[in-house]
Amino acid sequence: MKEKLIYRVARGKDSGLILRPHKYEDGSFRAHKTNSRNDPEGTSVMTELELIDLVREGYHVRMSSPGRPPSTVQPEIVAD
């Protein structure tokens, strides 16, 4: 089974919105030890599998949905 990362917004005007890992212009994904303010550089990886490994180590991930800027959140790993 393939795994993927998702985050469901829990409150506010976007409650219920599903966020997925944000892919930057260079094709990378970004993860942070705590949040992007305290760890501005973060860690860049090229695949979602690498990102899942970082989440298992406790990292937070920059995630977004179309038309919404990325947020740093602690996503869940789900089987696809």
36, pLDDT greater than 80: no
Percent of the chain scored above 70 by pLDDT?
98
Report yes or no: 22 and 30 within 8 Å, Cβ to Cβ.
yes
Instruction: Give, in degrees to the nearest 5, the angle at Cα 72 between 61 and 21.
Output: 45
Domain ranges of the chain: 3-79
Rounded-to-integer distance, Cα 40 and Cα 7, Å = 21
Of the pLDDT bands very low, low, confident and very high (cuts 50, 70, 90), residue 1 is confident
Backbone angles phi, psi at 50, to 5 degrees: -65, -40
